Structure 1
Amino acid sequence: MTSKSAHKQKVAVIGAGILGLSVARQLAQKGAEVTIFERDYIGAGTSSTTFAWVNSNGKSPDSYHQLNATAIDEHVELQREGQVGAPWFHQTGTYEWATGSELQHRLNERTENLTTLGYPVEKLSRADVQARLPEIRIDPQADELWFFPTEAILYPSILLAKLWADAKSSGAVLRNHSDIVSLNETEHGVTLTLADGEQWTGDQVVLATGRWSRELMANIGLDLALIDANKADRVACGFLAYTAPLPLQLDANLITPELNVRPDGGGRLLLQALDLDLYVNPSLLPSTDGFIAKEMLRRLRRIFANVDHAKIERIAIGQRARPADGLPAMGYVTPDKRVYLMVTHSGMTLGPLLGRLCAEEIIDKTRSDLLADFAPDRLIGKKAEDFPQISSVFYPSAQ
């Protein structure tokens, strides 16, 4: 539906990942003339290499928690609204346990804080979990088990297809294999130059290029404090291992001290072991029969029955779009308000909500209170080294 307050604007969205397609969909539905420029193809970047765990579990400060919690509701509404294809959002919850006094104490503190914030949390018995997950092998040291019922697993490719289908039906145009080599803002608008020399001129540009955001910001003379995802750094990168189909009945996220597990369709599992990310190097992809794969399988066999024959089909390295302070950067980056930046971690959780909120600011000139703490100014003109080192405190690959 076209916003009554909106005039026809010509907007370019650079990047066809979760953020780019989410905002393009909303902009087009508000009546803007939208062109999406993608260097490769839909989902070619971080949006296709993610654990895709939709949650607001342990995210701080409170404003970031609230943003993520609201984003869960946005997914529910988006899937409910006119869903005709395959569902991408499965609100089957998350099971979690900890072992050792320190980790158990931290988990209990987190659940108490989440309860205070109104986030649904359930304490389960071992028998409860065993009944729900028949093949599970619960660690004998796990005294308390928790369930977070509103959390979800998400299938990124299906969601990206939904967003693009909606954007296209509202008039958006997608230009795949269109590399932007320069961006120039003038008093009359914005001009983009493509690698083949073609130029696009319009009213506004949205930068939704994830971990490549610094490159385009440099075109307008601005530096951006963004973690370098090309470095061998567990904060910036992490392993994701995909198994062959297995006879398991897991239908939710499982978070344990040594391995995170989620279903990935057709009996396959997606595995993540955060401590193994100490060995990550984005330029060196591990083999499916090397140390990383064998260690993940060893841990998987401790957690589940029926997986003695499990095999890793492939290993990917997720390279994260992470601002230097770990929080989203959403907003205009130039005085004339023609260049709008969208970059964040937890994109799979936040994408649809941020698409709506940012489109409201771009077209309706209304900035939501949910974005109050996330203006890009704090990151502009600075480098990642100017911020305290982010540690891999919580589940950094989970989107």
Structure 2
Amino acid sequence: MTRAVVVGAGITGACVTYHLARLGVRVHCLDTGQGSRGENTSAVSFARLSAFQQPTATRFRLAAAGIAEHRRLAGTLAPAAWWHPGGSMAWGLPDLTEHTERLRSWGYRVRWTDAAHAGSALDPGVRFTDPRAPVAVLPDEGWVDAPTLIGVLLAAAGDTGRATVEVARATTVVLRDGRVAGVRCADGREVQADAVVNAAGPGAATLAASAGAPLDSALADRSSLVADLLTSARPPRHVLRGPTLHVRGAGRGRLRVRSDQVDTSLAAGVPVPELVEDLLVRVRRMLPRATDATVARAVVATAVFPRRGHPCAGALPAVPGYHELVTNSGVTLGPLIGRLVAEELVTGQTDPLLYDCRPQDARVRTTSGRSPSPVPPS
């Protein structure tokens, strides 16, 4: 393996580009050109690191390994300005005890406290409606500044002398004699390569179809209204997962917020301006010190992910040289599956963590009519 093209410069594309370059592959990463790198999904996701609400032990192991990979990467690329491992707190959620005790049984660090202690000692300034409410504290979680991480990864890949990043839209996977020969861009150019990694996010299905590997029926999408707020209040120390609102810091004087209930209204067609006002009301109720909060940006972020819940990560044997990297929770999983897909591409060996993530299985299981397990929003 000497040359690879990675389509997509979001979190997963940047991660696989970085690891391919470190493994000695000449890699050409094609940014979509839709704004800043990762703007389609990575930069506007809630971007928390979490293994919470994983329905199976297999998905939990993948998420927990993803968090551990962030810690390892932060040590390799120090100082890690993108990494904010402050922990998270959850309360008032359906089946909270069941989810939390299942995590504990799988070896995840969890401790219980009550709202009175959480609001006075752990994260002063958070208002809980019931001071006796149980609060689950998950100390290994946190959040990620995805655009900063993407920039660091691509710069480090470039420093190897083996990676090139350019703004260009790949439209077609080029095949010759039944195997990958590169990609064709919207401007008519052909970028030649021995392998293509499809990390195109919302454009993944179109690129897969051009390779003769239809993916549409294997994918689902979910939209979420994510708002960045400006406030003079100090951001919370933890990622907050409350019954009506999720909040995290987003840098000095900034918050990032979303709500499951607001997203339900979004799907029902309620106008976005009304939903933004709804988010502000929820913020002021949970964080009384943030009464001055104003909206810096509000975006409807749409994530595309495999219906079965597991990522599509790795080679598709039916199309030699074609690899996929399509996933839910891309911020949590990106560094891990980016490294594992790069290693598989170079060595031909699949890590056991990817055994349930093979792209061919996503297609087979979708057409068999099996219903996927639900996955939480990232």
Task: Calculate the TM-score normalised by the size of structure 2.
Answer: 0.92
The 2-side partners of 1:114 and 1:166 are apart by 35
Match of 1:232 in 2: none
Match of 1:35 in 2: 28
The 1-side partners of 2:167 and 2:103 are apart by 43
Alpha-carbon distance, 1:314 to partner = 2.1
CA distance change for structure 1 residues 79 and 386 in 2, over 3 Å: closer, same or farther? same
* 2:235 is the alignment partner of 1:252: no
Match of 1:3 in 2: none
Match of 2:285 among 302, 315, 337: 302
Match of 1:117 among 106, 109, 113: 106
The 2-side partners of 1:306 and 1:275 are apart by 23
Match of 1:50 among 16, 33, 45: 45
Match of 1:266 in 2: 252
Asked if the contact 2:208–2:214 (Cα under 8 Å) also holds between the matched residues in 1, the reply is yes
Q: CA offsets per residue over residues 253-312 of structure 1, 9 Å max, x none?
A: 0011000000111221111111111233699982xxx32122112212221222223222
Query: SS of the counterpart of 1:65?
Result: helix
Structure 2: give runs of 5+ residues left out of the alignment: none
Match of 1:94 in 2: 88
Match of 2:191 among 193, 200, 221: 200
The 2-side partners of 1:284 and 1:209 are apart by 29
CA distance change for structure 1 residues 301 and 44 in 2, over 3 Å: closer, same or farther? closer
The aligned runs of 1:1-399 (5 Å cut-off) are: 9-40=2-33, 41-84=36-79, 87-98=81-92, 103=94, 106-129=95-118, 130-140=120-130, 143-187=133-177, 189-224=180-215, 225-227=217-219, 229=221, 236-280=222-266, 286=272, 290-335=273-318, 337-380=320-363, 386=369, 388=371, 395-396=376-377, 398=378
Asked if the contact 1:25–1:170 (Cα under 8 Å) also holds between the matched residues in 2, the reply is no
Query: SS of the counterpart of 1:176?
Result: strand
The 2-side partners of 1:283 and 1:298 are apart by 19
Q: CA offsets per residue over residues 167-226 of structure 1, 9 Å max, x none?
A: 111124434331112212224641321122211222111111112111011112222134
CA distance change for structure 1 residues 155 and 278 in 2, over 3 Å: closer, same or farther? same
Asked if the contact 2:115–2:131 (Cα under 8 Å) also holds between the matched residues in 1, the reply is no
Asked if the contact 1:285–1:315 (Cα under 8 Å) also holds between the matched residues in 2, the reply is no
The 2-side partners of 1:265 and 1:11 are apart by 35
CA distance change for structure 1 residues 244 and 157 in 2, over 3 Å: closer, same or farther? same
Q: CA RMSD in A?
A: 2.3
Asked if the contact 1:222–1:380 (Cα under 8 Å) also holds between the matched residues in 2, the reply is no
- Greater alpha carbon shift after TM alignment, 13-22 vs 128-137: 128-137
CA distance change for structure 1 residues 201 and 308 in 2, over 3 Å: closer, same or farther? closer
CA distance change for structure 1 residues 275 and 390 in 2, over 3 Å: closer, same or farther? farther
Match of 1:233 in 2: none
Q: Which amino acid aligns with 1:30?
A: L
Alpha-carbon distance, 1:337 to partner = 2.7
Alpha-carbon distance, 1:20 to partner = 0.8
CA distance change for structure 1 residues 107 and 152 in 2, over 3 Å: closer, same or farther? same
The 2-side partners of 1:296 and 1:355 are apart by 34
The 2-side partners of 1:65 and 1:26 are apart by 24
CA distance change for structure 1 residues 199 and 173 in 2, over 3 Å: closer, same or farther? same
CA distance change for structure 1 residues 180 and 121 in 2, over 3 Å: closer, same or farther? same
Percentage identity across aligned positions?
A: 27
Structure 1: give runs of 5+ residues left out of the alignment: 1-7, 230-235
Query: SS of the counterpart of 2:304?
Result: coil
Query: SS of the counterpart of 1:322?
Result: strand
Greater strand fraction, Structure 1 or Structure 2: 2
Task: Calculate the TM-score normalised by the size of structure 1.
Answer: 0.87
Asked if the contact 1:25–1:172 (Cα under 8 Å) also holds between the matched residues in 2, the reply is no
Query: SS of the counterpart of 1:137?
Result: coil
